[in-house]
Amino acid sequence: MKDRQPTGTGEHAAPDRSDDRWNDKYPYLGTAPIPIEPYISREYFTLERERIFRKVWLNVGRIERIPNPGDYIVVALPVCRTSVVVVRGKDGYLHAFHNMCSHRGNKIVWDHKGSCQNFTCKFHGWSYGLDGRLTFIPDEQGFCGLQKDKLGLTPVAVDTWAGFIFIHLDPHPTETLRAYLAEVVPGLEGYPFPELSATRFCWRTEIKANWKIAQDAFQEGYHLPVRHKATAAGAFTSGTNPHCHFLSLDLYERHRRTSSYGNLNYQPTPVAGRAYQFGSSVVVDRDITLDNLPAGVNPTRRSDWSIDTFWIFPNFSIFPSNGTYLTHQFWPITEERTIWETHTYFPKAENAGQKFSQEYSKVLLRDILMEDGTTLEHMQDVLASGAKTHMPLQHQEICVRHAYRVVEDYVGFYAGR
Amino acid sequence: MTESGWPAAFRTLQPFLGWALATEAERTQKRQTSEMADIQAFYNAMLSHLEDILVYLNQFPLEHMPPHARQLMDMTFSLAEIAPAVELFGQPREDDTFDPFRFVPQHQ
């Protein structure tokens, strides 16, 4: 049911958004260029490892991937020099451990996903329950003074919010997940994650770029009319919003959110039009009904809206739209190498038409993301040249400025310099 | 209907059965290694029937698709795969874009 008519007819033409001055809303961030060093420095990267990634909650996926007791996923965390197993226990609760045998340190799980009754090391056969307790040692009498009850797998804190699984490398974190996410929870409360998470697509790539360079590319729309001229510019810009200015944004202590414009006059291509006709699509939704979205998504309640973003510190983001959402994770490997994972989610397809629609939506998303991939590597190639020391940022790039500030507040690289 | 169950209305699509590929990785491979003329021919053939194909396919439960319907559906997915090449780029792969084989699907 439509509760509003499309406004692209001129009746409610989108206002000129050329005068948004987001820097004025957050004067504490300043307007000065930001330094390049954090994006190229090994010293900075080492501090990020110690002061961020070992100290905060990190998203590692969704609960739909491990619905039954014994189901597990394995998450590589090269930034923390570890691998983590998240498993649903026989008690139905999630448990998480460093993926490392207590004997001589072999990884106990070698694949990325599976289901098991217990974890048995492929080196000497030490065996652990799903709760991490050490249950069996071959030729146990050969060891002297072994305290078997203290040789379980090393635990990692794990908790969930809205079906998203988060881990914390401190097994007893001082801050609960709920408190950590408190700034963004109201914005996403009530968003239909369970229904929209039925169909999951995921791409993974390793890029030669700093994790913040990669992430920052998705935190501003300023590049969209240029870099995505062939793909996304038509749907996300217009004569009244030619530079893809945000509809709204909020910067929090650690996290942030934005809301983006959609061009209701955009004419989809023939195949996009059919995809839209037969199901959900990432192209701007002319039939959007505002009452099927919670108040925190599209907070300005405009019909010429496309997608919101929620940036969860340090490396996770959720992009809710109408009937579909996507997430990005950027996992640092070194100061200039990153694992980039994008998931896109849809409801369960009921028929072939809906499957086709989802297929088109994800292929278009993938081709748009690939346009970004090249830029990231070209930037990293020359950032360390020393030719420039700082980057100027404009109002529409304030999320990049905020992201830099939050990281630096944790890292303290420039404090006292 | 032909012997295989393939509807007579879609007989003109049978020369394009090479596009009936089950996974995104296979469809990407086909797009990236095909001549644009072949991609365009497949696009033209599919687009003119697309609405009818989807209406036809929608009668089958997804869990119990006959083999010929599964092939047709996979061909619609290949159309989705090549649509940006035809409609946005005019070539299989956009200039200056990321290596598509490095952007690896973790799904089927």
**What ranges do the domains of chain A cover?**
22-39+192-411, 58-180
* B103 at A interface, C-beta within 8 A: yes
Least confident range from A9-13, A273-277, B4-8: namely A9-13
Farthest CA pair distance, chain A: 84
- What distance, in Å, lies between the first and last C-alpha atoms of chain B? 30
Please state, in angstroms and rounded to a whole number, the distance separating the CA atoms of residues A221 and A308. Answer: 12
State whether B54 and A278 contact (CB < 8 Å): yes
The average pLDDT across A370-375 equals 96
Instruction: Select the residue from A355, A361, A371, A376 to test the B interface by mutation, using most B Cβ atoms within 10 A.
Output: A355
Among A175, A354, A198, A364, which Cα is nearest to B61's? Answer: A354
- Domains A22-39+192-411 and A58-180 are alike in CATH topology: no
In single-letter form, the type of residue at position A323 comes to G
A386-396 as b/e: b if 16+ CB within 10 A: eeeeebebebb
- Give A192's pLDDT tier (boundaries 50, 70, 90): very high
The reply to whether A274 touches chain B by the CB within 8 Å rule is yes
C-beta of residue A311 within 8 angstroms of C-beta of residue A219: yes
Q: Do A349 and B62 touch (CB under 8 A)?
A: yes
Q: What pLDDT was estimated at residue A5? A: 37
- From the list A206, A341, A367, which residue is nearest B84 (CB)? A367
Q: Does domain A22-39+192-411 have CATH number 3.90.380.10?
A: yes
Query: What is the C-alpha to C-alpha distance for residues A411 and A14, in angstroms, rounded to an integer?
Result: 41
Q: Is B89 on the interface with A (CB under 8 A)?
A: yes
Q: What is this model's ipTM?
A: 0.97
- Which residues are CB-contacts of A4 (< 8 A; sequence separation ≥ 6)? A288, A289, A290, A303
User: Looking at the domain A58-180, which fold is it?
Assistant: Rieske Iron-sulfur Protein (2.102.10)
Q: Do the chains contact at B50 and A274, CB–CB below 8 Å?
A: yes
Contact A307, A293 (CB under 8 A): no
- A196: DSSP letter: H
- Asked if A359 and B54 touch (Cβ cutoff 8 Å), the reply is no
**Is the Cβ pair A352, B89 closer than 8 Å?**
no
The answer to whether the peptide bond before residue A314 is cis (omega within 30 degrees of 0) is: yes
Cα(A410)–Cα(B82) distance, integer angstroms = 45
The mean per-residue pLDDT over the stretch A287-315 comes to 87
Listed by start position, the domains of chain B span 22-93
Q: What is the CA radius of gyration of chain A?
A: 23
In the DSSP assignment, the letter for residue B63 is G
Q: Is B9 part of the contact surface with chain A (CB cutoff 8 Å)?
A: no
Name the nearest CA neighbour of A293 among A264, A322, A260, A263: A322
Q: Kindly report, residue by residue over A310-338, the tens digit of the pLDDT.
A: 999 999 999 999 889 999 999 999 999 99
Instruction: With CB atoms and an 8 Å threshold, state whether B73 touches A349.
Output: no
The pair of structure tokens assigned to A107 is: 């990884």
Q: Do A356 and B62 touch (CB under 8 A)?
A: no
Check CB contact of B77 with chain A, cutoff 8 Å: yes
Task: Give pTM, 2 decimals.
Answer: 0.94
Q: Say yes or no for a CB contact (<8 Å) between B62 and A366.
A: no
> Which pLDDT belongs to residue A12?
43
Does residue A146 have a pLDDT over 50? yes
Mean pLDDT computed over A263-272: 93
Average pLDDT over residues A364-375: 96
Residues contacting residue A159 through CB under 8 Å, at least 6 positions apart: A57, A94, A165, A166, A168, A176, A177, A178
Q: Which of A351, A354, A375 is the mutation pick for testing B, counting most B CBs within 10 A?
A: A351
Interface of A with B in 231-260 (CB under 8 A): 231
> CB–CB of A203 and B104 under 8 A?
yes
Q: Nearest CA to CA, how far is A269 from chain B (Å)?
A: 7
Q: Which residue has the higher pLDDT, A273 or A8?
A: A273
Tokens of A354: 């809906």
